[in-house]
Structure 1
Amino acid sequence: MDGPETILARAVSDPDDRLVTADELLTGLQRRCGGELPGTIAVPELLELVSKARRYRNRLARTICAHDGADVINAWVEVTPKNDGSGCEIVLRSWRATPLPPEDNDGSIERRAVVDRQVAELVAWLDAEQRILAVASDSAELRDLATAMQEGIGRPFTDVVNFESGAAHPLHWRLLDGAPIRIPGSSREWRIVLLPQAQPGAEPAGFELLLVSDEPYSEPEAPALAGMGLGRGLVGQDLAPVLRQPISRIIANAETIRTRLAGPLPDAYADYAGEIANAGRLLLGLLEDLSDLEIVESSTFVAAPDHIDLAEVARQAAGILGVRAREKCIVIEGLSPAESLPAVAEFRRVLQIFINLIGNAIRYSPEGSHVSIRLEHRDERARVIVADEGPGLSEEEQAIVFEKFERLGRSGDGGSGLGLYISRRLARAMNGELSVESQKGQGARFILDMPVDPEAVG
């Protein structure tokens, strides 16, 4: 028979193993473990004990263990089923609370990093000055940002992303870690995660940047998805997602070695690391070109035209490629903020075309030259002209320059021979055209014609 001096608390459960009444000790434990009164028993081991006693109609007793957020509770509990099957009587006879050990701060940080890496939809590698070394993303929603970061290699990542705070940058990395950012075209909320790469007690030699959203991605409707032009072939669907991140890691690690962020290194080894990084970028570029090739040649590919400003897209492309131009002492004569040219086209596809045209102009123009961007409005066509001071093209070369894999006899320049072919296919998919005017020795003018936006000019 139970002696009242040995009983610390009593409780009663119903046929559904819900705690109906309980003395204070068990009521507090129930609530600290996330339960309610009345409500389903919140302590898993107690719930199991009560459930078994009720089902087998046998009195059961044992020690249970519970975690209430602050302590580890060990308690001796006796459970007796009622004869009428209406539930159980619960008796608590002992109670020992042991404080939980202090949180392992390093361990918790590492666990959070593991989770963030798993859910990140964009990964970039930065040097000690937060300059972009490499970037990888398989997210269609982040493709424009990934492109901008890829073209912005060598620039601080804060030049490329849009922070919600609008604060001036650069800032210390600890102030940027966790900062919310805006992604044009995305309704989700995004945050930056910066993982420092450093030995304990030392300043970071670089960073791993993760772009994370706590909201799940919602697939767009079929027409919008077709407009995104996601590759569904061997490269776009199977190879590209698998290869992007490891190739980007190779580039980032090679850049870390080349810039001696990992420690002193002989010049020969630094040069070798630079060659590895450049080879990685060429491979990554080829992978992207092959993926785009599958997209534009797919019978299901359609563009998603919208009302855009061609001048603004051209300004963004010129800004993305500004560092590359300055490295060759090339001046991009861009458009003033006041210039505008409304058109009907898909923003991200036009941006892709401009990046290719301006990038080619920089690649094939001599140092100290100029690349100009001009606008024209002809009847129902909106025209943007990208002109360079390079070697120009003969009539024979102009006839084949838009063909697949055509490089006009060049080798070792990092091109795949697909950029102009893909760009023309994209232009035509948006009811536009891409053409070239040139003379040998007098530079080249690449001309993008798109339908004028009637709503803007009417």
Structure 2
Amino acid sequence: MTIDSGIILARARSDGEDCLVSAEEPLAGLQLRCGGALPGVIAVPELRELVRKARRRGVRLSRSICAQDGVDTVTAWVEIEPLVEGCDIRVRSWQSSPVPIESADVLERRRVQIDRHLAEISVRLDHDQRVLAVTSDSAELADLAAAMAEGIGKPWTDFLPPENITHDQPLHWRLLDGVRVQVPESLRSWRVTLVPFGKPGFDPAGFELFLLSDQAPSRLTPTPPSPKSRTRHSLVGQDLAPVLKQPISRIVANAETIRTRLAGPLPDAYSDYAGEIASAGRLLLDLLDDMADLEVVESEGFSTAPDRIDLSEVSRQAAGILGVRAREKGIAIEAPHPSESLRAVAEFRRVLQVLLNLVGNAIRYSPENSRIWIRLEDAGGYARVIVADQGPGLSAEQQVKVFDKFERLGRSGDGGTGLGLYISRRLARAMGGELSIESAPGQGARFILEVPSDRLA
């Protein structure tokens, strides 16, 4: 199959850690067939490397990439444009052809290459599987990487205990290659890959260890639970959500393939049905994310990690992340100017989480070709971020209910889950602040996030 034109065939977006946040077909299907997830770490090595270069250098890059999904070889021309947070990915050509039969050695080298790109921690080991060096750029695994760096000379199994193995360590490396391991304070499932160094037929002179997860990083990381709260069973976030997200993502990807007629001609009615299936699947994915976040913010002992931040910078990041979605409706977002600054004491990623929800809601409920404003305000002991829109507005009665759990104010079919504002207010209060609303029917809405000011700035 060959598709080559000057138009944009598919768009995708990555975040600041080179994870694919969203993608259209045919790129979404390639991501899943290559063993990735949506959302999840970019599973095509060449694409991930290109995205990483564009993000780190802050420059637009365009080039051809090649990938194999086990059935076809895909060659595509992609354009990567860095945003404030992550990158915008555009596909302009797409060609696929059957994969030729390859030797086992070639396939093994390709597997190692993919694991090397997807690894969130890479460790160099000696011939006795003892730690020599550690590399990681994952914020979630920073404590683990630091512990391993301080434990040079110790077996890697001291830091990553294998699951369901009780024998003395280290075992023979072939018994540990691909084993599931326990990562402290992480809700994701993990596995390791061991790649030996040395000549075939001889004992390895050392190893390269890759730590990988088949699940995307959680948007919220819970604090360690108290002894009392450890007895609470986490169903959605820890057990159910990871199991459901991958098959639902595949349903969405397949539905998009049908909707866009990439699999062949189709009557309009069936294309519309496939579009409804894809929309319903995306709603389920959003619901799983929100339910996982809900368990975090309602867990006993939940707290945030306050830091000295600039609300102007966070606001511009939120506007940049959601800029593509706004432009699709012709909506302009006016974010604070880079020269503006308002210092506060709060956790950067929690504030960003709240603003993404507020701006996302404003885009969802605002009319086309309207405007959204993000304004800053110094209120003495508090710093405020105000998100205002030109939407239908809310009555006094609706304003009382809007922060309730699962409250959607009678709306249906808009893609919301009724949890975003409830979670956002819990986050604001956990940071010592508040989230409130000012509105009137027909006059839009103003959501006001307050967090403690940084009086030492």
Fold-level match, TM-score > 0.5?
A: yes
Consecutive unaligned residues of structure 2, counting only runs of 5 or more, are: 1-16, 43-47, 68-75, 86-93, 101-113, 124-137, 145-182, 188-219, 226-232
Candidates 168, 181, 199, aligned match of 2:97: 199
- Following the alignment from structure 1 to structure 2, what is the Cα–Cα distance between the partners of residues 375 and 124? 28
Q: CA deviation at 1:382?
A: 1.0
1:336 is paired with a residue whose SS is: coil
Q: CA deviation at 1:121?
A: 10
Give the aligned residue type for 2:416: G
- Tell which structure's C-alpha radius of gyration is larger: 1
Report the CA distance shift for 1:428/1:330 in structure 2 as closer, same or farther (over 3 A). Answer: same
**Contact 1:130/1:157 (8 A) holds in 2:** no
**Cross-structure match for 1:267:** 268
**Contact 2:25/2:253 (8 A) holds in 1:** no
Report the CA distance shift for 1:417/1:161 in structure 2 as closer, same or farther (over 3 A). Answer: farther
1:384 is paired with a residue whose SS is: strand
2:421 is paired with a residue whose SS is: helix
Q: CA deviation at 1:434?
A: 0.4
Q: CA deviation at 1:268?
A: 2.2
Report the CA distance shift for 1:135/1:337 in structure 2 as closer, same or farther (over 3 A). Answer: farther
**Contact 1:330/1:370 (8 A) holds in 2:** yes
- Following the alignment from structure 1 to structure 2, what is the Cα–Cα distance between the partners of residues 320 and 148? 17
Q: What does residue range 118-133 of structure 1 map to in structure 2 within 5 Å?
A: 126=23
2:412 is paired with a residue whose SS is: coil
**Cross-structure match for 1:228:** 221
**Cross-structure match for 1:116:** none
Report the number of matched residues: 305
- Following the alignment from structure 1 to structure 2, what is the Cα–Cα distance between the partners of residues 378 and 159? 40
**Cross-structure match for 2:242:** 241
**Cross-structure match for 1:173:** 65
Q: What does residue range 137-152 of structure 1 map to in structure 2 within 5 Å?
A: none
Candidates 122, 126, 129, aligned match of 1:215: 122
| Cα RMSD, aligned residues only | 4.3
Report the CA distance shift for 1:274/1:159 in structure 2 as closer, same or farther (over 3 A). Answer: farther
Report the CA distance shift for 1:147/1:438 in structure 2 as closer, same or farther (over 3 A). Answer: farther
- Following the alignment from structure 1 to structure 2, what is the Cα–Cα distance between the partners of residues 132 and 317? 27
Report the CA distance shift for 1:278/1:169 in structure 2 as closer, same or farther (over 3 A). Answer: same
Q: CA deviation at 1:403?
A: 0.9
Q: CA deviation at 1:288?
A: 0.7
Q: CA deviation at 1:289?
A: 0.8
- Following the alignment from structure 1 to structure 2, what is the Cα–Cα distance between the partners of residues 236 and 244? 11
- Following the alignment from structure 1 to structure 2, what is the Cα–Cα distance between the partners of residues 289 and 123? 18
Report the CA distance shift for 1:134/1:310 in structure 2 as closer, same or farther (over 3 A). Answer: farther
Q: So what's the TM-score if we normalise by structure 1?
A: 0.57
- Following the alignment from structure 1 to structure 2, what is the Cα–Cα distance between the partners of residues 310 and 252? 36
**Contact 2:385/2:449 (8 A) holds in 1:** yes
**Contact 2:403/2:421 (8 A) holds in 1:** yes
Consecutive unaligned residues of structure 1, counting only runs of 5 or more, are: 1-119, 150-155, 186-195, 203-207
**Residues 329-378 of structure 1, C-alpha deviations (whole Å, 9 max, x = no match):** 21112222222222111122111111110111111111121111111112
Q: CA deviation at 1:228?
A: 2.4
Give the aligned residue type for 1:358: V
**Cross-structure match for 1:68:** none
Give the aligned residue type for 2:282: R
Give the aligned residue type for 2:143: P
The farther-off stretch of 122-131 and 392-401 is 122-131
Q: CA deviation at 1:440?
A: 1.5
Q: So what's the TM-score if we normalise by structure 2?
A: 0.57
Q: Percent identity?
A: 58
**Contact 1:124/1:132 (8 A) holds in 2:** no
**Contact 1:224/1:304 (8 A) holds in 2:** no
Give the aligned residue type for 1:220: D
Report the CA distance shift for 1:410/1:148 in structure 2 as closer, same or farther (over 3 A). Answer: farther
2:301 is paired with a residue whose SS is: coil
Report the CA distance shift for 1:256/1:129 in structure 2 as closer, same or farther (over 3 A). Answer: closer
Report the CA distance shift for 1:165/1:314 in structure 2 as closer, same or farther (over 3 A). Answer: closer
Q: CA deviation at 1:162?
A: 5.3
**Cross-structure match for 2:351:** 350
- Following the alignment from structure 2 to structure 1, what is the Cα–Cα distance between the partners of residues 66 and 353? 33
